[in-house]
Every structure is written in structure tokens, then in C-alpha cells.
Chain A
């Protein structure tokens, strides 16, 4: 398949064929990370800029490693230390980045739509590493990759996404992707965390986690952002953990072979109990591993997707 996209901004704009192609490519990349010398020359001479305008360790590290395993030059910029901190506009920063002739810019930003905004002003490729509440396409793709690996398929699976749907870009991208791939998606959380118009995603919303978990093949737990407590979205962590957290007992409502995903970092004891996080159903570390392969695949595809002969 010829992959002709300039950017990966969200899941909504990707077709099933494109997503499948990305997942297949990522599966092929996975083996590189298992070699004694974890490096191929595929992107030698290419420049990747990681522009993280919002704090993140794991996603940034994952992109960083992905770029380096493909031999690209990876430059990481953070908000502090960059001119953004000094009040420069996003447009000016982006034009400055462009002048450095990168091949791909990876951006995380706290504002919904920020990735689309910069993509409209950049000739190089843009990968959205999370923009506000809007989208986190690489997370959704690595989740789909993990599900496909564990379950052999996505279509027809019952997937429950639990937590603060309203403020989660991970939830949005996963709902879009999984529904498109043919899964039956349920979401659950307190009504304060279920956004207006959720039906338009083609998902079923529950206020009871137990109901959403009934027979689920996959459980995706979202990270509870504690600062949300100030926005009166819930009462106490204690009550949240009891009513909406994933306990061993709750997992038993799901299908016996259900797998548990979490985008991390986890609040153990709040949205997920220790025993579940570390238990046999947990695919949380597989997600991390797949994240690197998935991001390698995207760098590769956005850079033209031509493999060097010595790689195979």
C-alpha cells in the first residue's frame, strides 16, 4: 500500500486501510527492538524534532527511542528553555522550527487543535503526540496494536473504556479508532466525566462501571487526573476508587480472557488496583513496548516509507 499522508493528526481522518497498514508496519518494526544491536539505518540523515509543549516523559522517550533506532537525528525541545516560555506565539515558534528543515515534527500541546494548526503552516510532516483533550493518535494506534496482538483481531470485540472520557484525548482517539475497526465500544465513568454528544461516536455510555465491563474482551483504564477534583468532577479519591476504579473483583465481570490496558502513568489505588496492574491480564508493559514499534512505523511511513536494502 502506498502511504501518502503528510501528517498524523488524529484518528478520525485515518481510514481502516491506513490504520491496518500502520499496524502491520509496526508489527514488522517490533523485531528490531529485540536485536542485540537495536539500530537500523533507515532514516539516516533525517531530522526529527520532538516539540513537547506539555510535560511528558514516557511519550517523549518513546518517540526519542523510536527515532534513534531508525538512525534519525532526534532533537527534543521542551517548553521551558524554548522561546515559547518567553511568550512567543505558536506560529512564530513553528516557523522557526520549519527554518531548521526537519523532516518530521512531533508535537504535544495543551490546546485542542494545536497539531492541526501547526500542520497547516509546516511543509514537513507532523505527528500529534497529544493536543489538549482532542486526540492522541499514536496512543490509540499502539493500543489497537496491543489488542490485535493479544486477541488476534479488533472487529467484534467488546471494549470498555473507563474513566474521565470528557477530558481524555486517549478516550477520543480510541473511540474513533476502535469503532471504525469494528469493535463494540462502551464507555463508563461518573456523569460529570461523560461529555455531551458522546453518542455521536457510536459508543454506549454507562454510569456504572460494572455494566460496561459485562463480557468485555478489553478494558482500557484512563488516568485519573487528580487536579480535576478542583473542577468538582468527583468527590474524593477514596470514593472514586471504590465506585469507578478497576479492582480484581470488577475485572471478574469481564470476559475470562479480558486484557487490561492503561496509557500510564498509573495512579495505583485510584483508577487501578495494584493486583490488576501487575496481574496476568495486564498488557500495560506490552503497550510500552509496542509504542516504540508503532512510532518507528509512523516515522518510517511519513519519511517516504522506502526501506534500505540492508535492513531486511
Chain B
């Protein structure tokens, strides 16, 4: 089975940037040729005129909720949302019920994802049993079952010694830690960013320091142990600064942020809007700007969504009681393209942030070269569209971006040579 994607603008930053035809044979890239180059006859031809064709987007931080909370999302519905958003692969966090802290659960997730046959799913297994922060899990087993990294996301590993041992132990199996950075003693029951808005609403505030202090600890531990660490969902200017300095002195640290941290501020909480409640919380304008600078200068390696589905009734409660998190798979590309349209970053930068860098961090290649798996995203970066949560493929609707007018979206998603989504 041979497929040809013709007339598209192929963009693989630092490698290809121009009109090319892509030939796919049996799920792998056969060749990338100048337009009009004659090869064998294709069984299927996709016309990508006016579109950009890029290496498949990767979201390295999502919550698929299965097993355990299938009313919020399933592996299948989450993957459907992923491919609709242009993602060919996602990494799912282990805070499911039960927690993904055993090889059996990891391989079950892999099987469910294969059954769904949409995006690739790379499970992130738990650092400690039940996310309890105490007992290290069986990393060798988890790795063999398909775990790509380790994280207790949702909970920080409070004890420094436990995190140190986890980083050291993970090295033996070529795994790395993704850290959800939060000093709970400084969070002290807070539910939104500390500052004038929280004060006015009478809500408990979370200081920036609760994040950056833990970021500093993880950097220090990575330095101490010679390990590699990835910082999840960076939201503060102090964290950006700490990571920038650490990178400059050669610490093996990488980091992600999410679209809401560069599109929104604490003001979005308005009058107790629970759709603007997440952890870490939306911060100040100064933080939002620092996040964009971090994306521009490479301090922040990638954009991940922290896609966190919740049912409507769960968010329809007083602010204090609402669960944290918003969904992001179907809005991430459109929101990130805002940075391209306003000149903050180039389209090549966006492809690095949403595809090349996550692939590098996860230890996989995704260059558009012969022999590589044909994971591709076809995007129209100009088409204007409105965010309508009711039409999401995700089972959940919890987004603060409903009604937003965005420019640019995925119009086709190819995973392993198969067109798994087409607009």
C-alpha cells in the first residue's frame, strides 16, 4: 500500500522547508521528493495544496482517565480528541484508578490504545506506589510493559530523599522523571494564584514560590544524581528563570508549559469560573509574558496540554470544591498558533515545541526521512474557526476557551501511514 501526499508545504525544521511530495509505503516514509517527481503509482493520493505537512504533533502530558473514570474520558475518546487536534502521539499520566504503578496496568493501557487504533499512546508510569510518595515501583517491569517515563503527576514527591532515589534508580532502566512541582506546605489549601484577584474573591492564594521552590529542588537533584528530569506544566517566571540558569550550566533538565499559561492569566477566574481552575493555577501577566519568553529562547522545550477531562457536574460546584484541570487536545494547536500569528515564534519553532522536542525528550526520532514511521500532521494555519465544546471528540467539555475565535487547525492526521483523522 503506497500513499502520496502531494503539493503540501513540508516543514521539518532544520531539515525540510518547502513544497514536497511525501511517499509512504506500508506505514513508513518511502521518500520525500521535489513536487512532480515520478515514482511508482500511489494507491492513495492526498492533495495537501495550501497546507503545511509536519512531523506528527506529540502531546507529552495528557490524562486519559481510563481505567477508572470512563465517564470523563476513555483511551479511545481521548485518542479521538488527540488526532482531531493534530496529535499523532500522547503520553498519558498514571493517576488513573487504579494508578498505573504496575506492569499489568501499563500493558493494558497499551493494548486499549492499539485497539482504538488512533493516536499512539505512551503510558507514563507512577514513580511511587499509588502515587503515595513512599515506595518505588518496579521500573524494569514497567519499562518492559511500555512505560516511557515516570511521574506522580497530580502529586509532588514530597520527600527529597525519595525523589533522589527515584532519579537514581530510574537511570538503570533508561527512564526519566517528569516532575509535578508543588510545595504543598506553601500551597496551604490555596485554589488560585495568590494576588489581588484571589484577595478580592476571598479565595486562598497559591504563591509562585510553591512551584519554583520545587523546580529548584528537582534541578539540584538532577545535578546531584547526574539524572535527566523533565518539569511538567511550568507556570511561573521564577521557574522559567531557574530552568534557564540550570540549562546554561549544563544540567539535564527539560520543561513543558501548556497553552493556558501563555493565553490566560488569573483574571480569567472572573467571578469564580471553575473552568479557569487548574493546578498549577493561572498566574499573572508578568508570568504569562515570561512563559512566552521561555518558549522563544528554548528554556521551555515543549507545549503540552495537561488535558484533564472532568464531567460538567463536577465543575458545577463552588470554586473551592471544583476539581483542577481543563481539556486541551482539541484547542492546543489553534492556541499555540496564536504565538505564530502574533510574531512571537515562527512556525518552525511551533513544530519544534509541539513535535520535534517532545520526540527528542521521549527518546524517539520523528524526522521525515525514509524508513521513519509515517506520523504526520496536515495543518491549515490560516483557517478561522470557533471553539465549540459541544462538538469536541473528547467526552468532556471543561475548557475556558469555548467561543474563542482561533486561526489554524489540523485538517488531517496520519499515524503509521493511516489517515486516522480528516476534517
Binding site for B on A (CB under 8 A): 12, 89-91, 109, 111-114, 116-117, 131-135, 166, 169, 172, 195-201, 231
Contacts and interface: CB of A to CB of B under 8 A. Distances in A.
Interface string B312-324: 0100111111000
13 contacts: A89-B313, A90-B321, A111-B321, A112-B320, A113-B201, A113-B318, A132-B202, A133-B203, A134-B202, A169-B202, A196-B198, A197-B196, A197-B198
Given A172-B202, A197-B200, A200-B199, A113 B272 contact: yes
The dominant DSSP class at the A interface is: mixed
B195 interface: yes
B71 to A, nearest CB: 16
A166 B197 CA distance: 13
Contacts of A112: 201-203, 272, 318-320
A201 B198 CA distance: 13
A198 B199 contact: yes
Contacts of B188: 231
Contacts of A196: 194-196, 198-199, 205
B317 A200 contact: no
Given A111-B318, A166-B199, A172-B200, 6 more contacts: A112-B319, A112-B320, A113-B271, A132-B202, A135-B202, A196-B195
A90 B317 contact: yes
A180 to B, nearest CB: 14
A229 B194 CA distance: 21
Contacts of B201: 112-113, 134
A114 B318 contact: yes
A198 B317 CA distance: 27
Q: Which 10 A-B pairs have the closest CB atoms?
A: A197-B196, A134-B202, A133-B202, A113-B272, A112-B202, A200-B196, A111-B318, A195-B199, A197-B199, A111-B320
Interface in B51-91: none
Contacts of B321: 90, 111
Contacts of A114: 318
Contacts, number: 71
B196 A111 contact: no
A93 to B, nearest CB: 12
Nearest to B316: A91
A111 B199 contact: no
A132 B203 CA distance: 8
Max chain B CB contacts within 10 Å: which of A90, A197, A200?
A197
Interface in B183-218: 188, 194-203, 205
Contacts of A198: 199
Interface string B272-287: 1000000000000000
A197 B149 CA distance: 40
Given A132-B202, A134-B202, A169-B202, A113 B319 contact: yes
Interface residues of B, number: 21
A231 B272 CA distance: 25
Nearest to A135: B202
A112 B200 CA distance: 10
A169 to B, nearest CB: 6
A64 to B, nearest CB: 25
A291 B203 CA distance: 27
A164 B271 CA distance: 23
A197 B202 contact: no
Interface in B128-177: none
Contacts of B318: 90, 109, 111-114, 117
Contact of B195 (A111, A197, A231): A197
A197 B188 CA distance: 18
B272 A117 contact: yes
A277 B200 CA distance: 30
Contacts of B317: 89-91, 117
A109 B321 CA distance: 13
A169 B188 CA distance: 19
Contacts of B195: 196-197
Contacts of A197: 195-200
A195 B195 CA distance: 8
Interface in B281-315: 313
Nearest to B320: A111
A111 B317 CA distance: 10
Contacts of B316: 91
A114 B272 CA distance: 9
Max chain B CB contacts within 10 Å: which of A12, A90, A113, A201?
A113
Max chain A CB contacts within 10 Å: which of B188, B203, B318, B319?
B318
Contacts of B313: 89, 91
B272 A116 contact: yes
Contacts of A201: 200
B271 A116 contact: yes
Max chain A CB contacts within 10 Å: which of B188, B196, B199, B272?
B199
A132 B200 contact: no
A200 B188 CA distance: 23
Interface in B7-42: none
Contacts of B272: 112-113, 116-117
Contacts of A135: 202
A113 B272 CA distance: 6
A209 B229 CA distance: 49
B44 to A, nearest CB: 51
Contacts of B198: 195-197
Contacts of A231: 188
A246 B93 CA distance: 54
Contacts of B320: 111-113, 132
A50 to B, nearest CB: 19
Nearest to B314: A89
A111 B197 CA distance: 16
Contacts of A109: 318
A277 B417 CA distance: 81
B311 to A, nearest CB: 13
A112 B318 CA distance: 8
B202 A131 contact: yes
Nearest to A232: B188
A117 B320 CA distance: 12
B25 to A, nearest CB: 56
Interface in B319-335: 319-321
